[in-house]
Amino acid sequence: MRFLTQDPTLADFGHDPWWLILLKIVVAFIFGMSMILLGVWFERRVVARMAVRPGLNQVGPFGLLQTLADGIKGILKEDLLPRTADKVVFFFAPTVPAIFALTALSVIPFGPMVSIFGVQTPLQVTDVPVAVLVVLACSAMGIYGIVLGGWASGSTYPLLGGLRSSAQMISYEVAMGLSIVAVFMTAGTMSTSGIVAAQAGGSEASWSIFGWHPTVPSWYAILLIPSFLIFVVSAFGETNRAPFDLPEAETELVAGYMTEYSSIKFLLYLLSEYVAMVVMSSIIATMFLGGWRAPWPITAFWSGANSGWWPLLWFLAKVVLLLFIFVWVRATLPRLRYDQFMKLGWKVLLPVNLIWILLLGGLRVMQDEQFSGRNRWLIIGGAVVAVLLVALLWPARKAEPKTTLEEQMSARPSGSFPLPPLDLQVPPSPRAKRVVAERRPANVTASGAGSGQVADADTDADEKEV
């Protein structure tokens, strides 16, 4: 047995016999589908635990078969078609997100070169020089299913949900695409297997801090931490997951774009959300967490951790960890308001991303060109001083002139809505009364004391009156 990591390169793809290609596609498909079943179970179970409930525990061991039972029940339900719907689009819209999410799985590297029935092959369906763009394109195409489903229902709430989702996904796609730029710049390639290979091991930095060459961390999640954080946040936005699940905010839009859907079409929408989640987790694992490579403490004492079929285990562990984070965030954070959400995307994530890319580009130029030691530090110091000066001299926001209520009312244009009389008396808080009631001295007396029993009877009567 060879204990050598075999990194697949682009040249290793495209030599598989037809049966192996078919096998890989089928296995990737089965991976996606089984991750849906397990993902729904995992989410319901974890959320239940976080809410101190037992969660699924009736069907099968640990409730594992509940999702299957729900799926069968869903398929057997009546398929409703609204009379105002656009029938063709209503029919094919639910299939779009699921199809494109599953397509994106084809460029995810699950492992290194392995031997399948005697054929040496990478554990990945295919790879192209621009594989990451394929993933982004697939997630962009998934929007159509939601927009068209919402529109074709011929109903108001689904239309609003569809519009929200399209605005949301386009906005967050920009942030997502930009955050990957830093990965391209560092890895020097856009192929997924190449990005995994680029995170192979920490190399010594070319620069030094007083003679000490620090080892550059190999995972891009650490090396490019702003990109990593932005990518994770925009992945939440892109998959419509809580706290960004505005297209299906049930307090505002019933169920958003899938309100009019039922039976298997509804299931397809539900399923596509989980496929998208699994695909996003796989992409984050591939691009920022070293892909199928074993994490550091394992590689330190086990040299064979990155060879053979073991990497599949590390990859799945990373995906499950990221799925847990998706679920954890959902169980923790409340839903954002729409304007807050858009503000976060356009006014925070995007500018931070651009500045970070600029910074990274500057650093790389300094590494490439032969700057001598003193010049380099001068440039860095100059940049820092410039940033500090800009931050210091940035014009402060003008304080808004405060107007009284009367001024605001008189400033309203003619024809405005009539106002009710503003003489509202705020009643005292009921809480004050309760505090008084709680302060009533408790009657803790020895048994048989007559006065104590009388007092008890009194309070009982009071409570009955109330």
Partner 1 sequence: MTTADVLMLALGAVAVGAAAAVVTTRQIVRAGLWLVVALGSLAGLYLVLSAELVAWVQVLIYVGAVVVLLLFAVMLTRAPIGVSEDLDRSRWPGLLIGGGAGLGLAALLIDAYQWSTVDLADGAGAEEVGAAIFRSWVLPFEVLSVLLLAALVGAIVISRPDVSARVGR
Chain residues binding partner 1 by CB under 8 A are 84-86, 89, 128-130, 133-134, 136-137, 140-141, 143-144, 147-148, 151-152, 154, 159, 162-163, 166-167, 170, 173, 177, 190
Q: Give the C-alpha separation, 53 to 249, whole Å.
A: 24
We find the least distance from the C-beta atom of residue 238 to partner 1, in angstroms, to be 12
Token pair of 20, please?
């192996």
Residue type, 263: S
What 3-state class would DSSP assign to 112?
strand
We find the least distance from the C-beta atom of residue 203 to partner 1, in angstroms, to be 22
We find the least distance from the C-beta atom of residue 147 to partner 1, in angstroms, to be 6
We find the least distance from the C-beta atom of residue 283 to partner 1, in angstroms, to be 15
DSSP string, 266-317: HHHHHHHHHHHHHHHHHHHHHHHS-TTSPPHHHHHH-GGGGSTTHHHHHHHH
We find the least distance from the C-beta atom of residue 89 to partner 1, in angstroms, to be 7
Q: Give the C-alpha separation, 182 to 46, whole Å.
A: 33
What 3-state class would DSSP assign to 432?
helix
Q: Which is nearer to partner 1, 163 or 255 (CB)?
A: 163
We find the least distance from the C-beta atom of residue 392 to partner 1, in angstroms, to be 28
CA dihedral 320, 325, 330, 334 (to 10 degrees): 180
We find the least distance from the C-beta atom of residue 133 to partner 1, in angstroms, to be 4
Q: Give the C-alpha separation, 85 to 92, whole Å.
A: 12
Q: Which is nearer to partner 1, 82 or 304 (CB)?
A: 82
Structural contact between residues 338 and 246, judged by C-beta atoms closer than 8 angstroms = yes
Q: Which is nearer to partner 1, 132 or 294 (CB)?
A: 132
Q: Which is nearer to partner 1, 43 or 238 (CB)?
A: 238
Q: Which is nearer to partner 1, 130 or 342 (CB)?
A: 130
We find the least distance from the C-beta atom of residue 279 to partner 1, in angstroms, to be 15
Give whole-number Cα distances, 324 to 41, 44, 208, 275, 286, in Å.
12, 11, 38, 15, 17
Q: Which is nearer to partner 1, 93 or 323 (CB)?
A: 93
Q: Which is nearer to partner 1, 50 or 190 (CB)?
A: 190
We find the least distance from the C-beta atom of residue 1 to partner 1, in angstroms, to be 37
Q: Give the C-alpha separation, 176 to 170, whole Å.
A: 10
Token pair of 463, please?
């409570």
DSSP string, 302-366: -GGGGSTTHHHHHHHHHHHHHHHHHHHHHHHPPPPPHHHHHHIIIIIIHHHHHHHHHHHHHHHHH
Q: Which is nearer to partner 1, 176 or 289 (CB)?
A: 176
Give the dihedral sign, CA 404/407/411/412.
positive
Q: Which is nearer to partner 1, 40 or 132 (CB)?
A: 132
Location of structure tokens 């391209």: 184
Q: Give the C-alpha separation, 139 to 172, whole Å.
A: 11
